[in-house]
């Protein structure tokens, strides 16, 4: 494994709870001392389907938040949408079940050493990791504002929890069923200028991350985004999750989202080349 995953371990994790939250499942796992090495932006790879399953590959899930307090010791929270076969199996696991997991994997969000004005932007259930990040940033004395967006209200994850976690919250829905009618980027320039934003953190669909990156770069605001690329191995072996990234010399390298990400500098991702299948150079 890359040194970025030097603390990663394969361990059995017990399901402490599995609750339905709107269209999603909030799953709490006991991971013991591994919690000390998990940070906002890291992910976990989980073996799904059971011992006799034909689903050979693990499934990667962003870590929503972690805690080393309480009666269970180290815990990890996941927010899972039951879309595919693997995620539906995971969402069916009951309290007391044991999962085979590998964590923590991938790069984490960079946390400022001094208080800054941070804007967190999430799309759909991709916003889940931002809640744990908000807690870390506020502990550093940062002002934290949040924007949540989705095509419709049911796809917004835990808006009330978001409101409790940050200084201010704006919600956008494309069908106008709640909040502001439109997309999270519609008023982004005005929000950056008005709130004097220093750094943007984002999680969500790739098209949304690309749009945010364009605006952030034009206004010279740092943008850290957690990319959503399908991962097969999660440890940098299979090369299925590569993304085109601009190097310091201007050339394009295909970097692995699971090792060099999932958190990346939005200004360096060559968004116009994403999905074009360029030859791997790194």
Residue 279's pLDDT band (cuts 50, 70, 90): very low
The CATH number of the domain where 239 resides is what? 2.10.240
Percent of the chain at pLDDT exceeding 70: 96
The CATH number of the domain where 17 resides is what? 2.40.30.10
Tokens of 58: 């693990």
More confident residue, 280 or 109: 109
Say what the pLDDT of residue 238 is: 85
Domain end, chosen from 85, 105, 125, is at 105
Say what the pLDDT of residue 277 is: 55
Say what the pLDDT of residue 281 is: 41
| 119 in the same domain as 46 | no
| 142 in the same domain as 61 | no
Rounded to 5 degrees, what are φ and ψ at 87? -70, -35
In the chain, how many domains are there? Answer: 3
| 159 in the same domain as 210 | yes
Is residue 148 predicted with pLDDT exceeding 80?
Answer: yes
Say what the pLDDT of residue 4 is: 67
| 118 in the same domain as 99 | no
Domain end, chosen from 226, 251, 270, is at 226
Domain end, chosen from 60, 88, 105, is at 105
Is residue 130 predicted with pLDDT exceeding 50?
Answer: yes
Q: Of 15-24, 53-62, 92-101, which gets the smallest average pLDDT?
A: 53-62
| 207 in the same domain as 114 | yes
| 99 in the same domain as 130 | no
Residue bearing tokens 């927010």: 79
| 92 in the same domain as 9 | yes
Beta carbons of 34 and 104 less than 8 angstroms apart: yes
| 179 in the same domain as 244 | no
List pLDDT tens digits, range 216-252.
999 999 999 999 888 888 888 888 899 999 999 999 9
Tokens of 282: 């790194």
List pLDDT tens digits, range 45-75.
999 998 878 888 899 999 999 998 767 779 9
What is the spatial distance between Cα 100 and Cα 222, in angstroms, rounded to a whole number?
A: 36
Is residue 212 predicted with pLDDT exceeding 90?
Answer: yes
What is the spatial distance between Cα 180 and Cα 183, in angstroms, rounded to a whole number?
A: 8
More confident residue, 48 or 165: 48
Is residue 160 predicted with pLDDT exceeding 80?
Answer: no
| 190 in the same domain as 268 | no
| 186 in the same domain as 126 | yes
Q: What is the mean pLDDT of the chain?
A: 91
CB-based contacts of 243: which residues, under 8 Å, 6+ apart?
227, 229, 254, 255, 257, 261, 264, 269, 274
Is residue 86 predicted with pLDDT exceeding 80?
Answer: yes
Q: Of 30-34, 46-50, 228-232, 273-277, which gets the smallest average pLDDT?
A: 273-277
Say what the pLDDT of residue 234 is: 82
Q: What is the dihedral of CA 68, 258, 45, 276, to 10 degrees?
A: 140
| 78 in the same domain as 45 | yes
Say what the pLDDT of residue 3 is: 63
Residue span of the structural domain in which 125 resides: 107-226
Is residue 184 predicted with pLDDT exceeding 70?
Answer: yes
Residue bearing tokens 């696991």: 93
| 269 in the same domain as 211 | no
Average pLDDT over residues 142-146: 97
């Amino acid at each position: 494994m890359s040194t970025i995953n030097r603390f990663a371990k394969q361990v059995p994790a017990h399901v402490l709870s599995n609750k339905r939250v709107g269209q999603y499942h909030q799953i709490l796992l006991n991971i013991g001392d591994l919690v000390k090495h998990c940070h906002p932006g890291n992910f976990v790879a989980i073996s799904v389907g059971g011992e006799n399953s034909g689903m050979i590959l693990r499934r990667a899930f962003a870590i929503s938040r972690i805690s080393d307090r309480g009666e269970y010791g180290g815990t990890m929270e996941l927010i899972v949408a039951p879309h595919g076969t693997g995620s539906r199996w995971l969402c069916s696991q009951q309290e007391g079940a044991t999962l085979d997991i590998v964590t923590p994997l991938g790069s984490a969000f960079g946390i400022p050493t001094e208080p800054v004005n941070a804007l967190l932007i999430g799309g759909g259930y991709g916003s889940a990791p931002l809640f744990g990040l908000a807690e870390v940033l506020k502990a550093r004395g940062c002002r934290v504002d949040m924007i949540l967006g989705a095509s419709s209200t049911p796809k917004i994850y835990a808006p009330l929890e978001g409101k409790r976690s940050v200084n201010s919250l704006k919600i956008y829905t494309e069908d106008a069923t709640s909040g502001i009618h439109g997309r999270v980027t519609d008023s982004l320039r005005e929000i950056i200028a008005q709130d004097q934003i220093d750094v943007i953190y984002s999680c969500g669909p790739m098209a949304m991350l690309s749009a945010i990156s364009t605006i952030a770069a034009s206004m010279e605001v740092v943008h850290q985004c957690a990319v959503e690329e399908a991962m097969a191995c999660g440890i940098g072996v299979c090369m299925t999750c590569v993304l085109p990234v601009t190097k310091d010399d201007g050339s394009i390298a295909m970097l692995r989202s699971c090792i060099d990400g999932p958190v990346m500098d939005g200004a360096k991702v060559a968004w116009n080349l994403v999905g074009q299948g360029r030859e791997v150079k790194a």
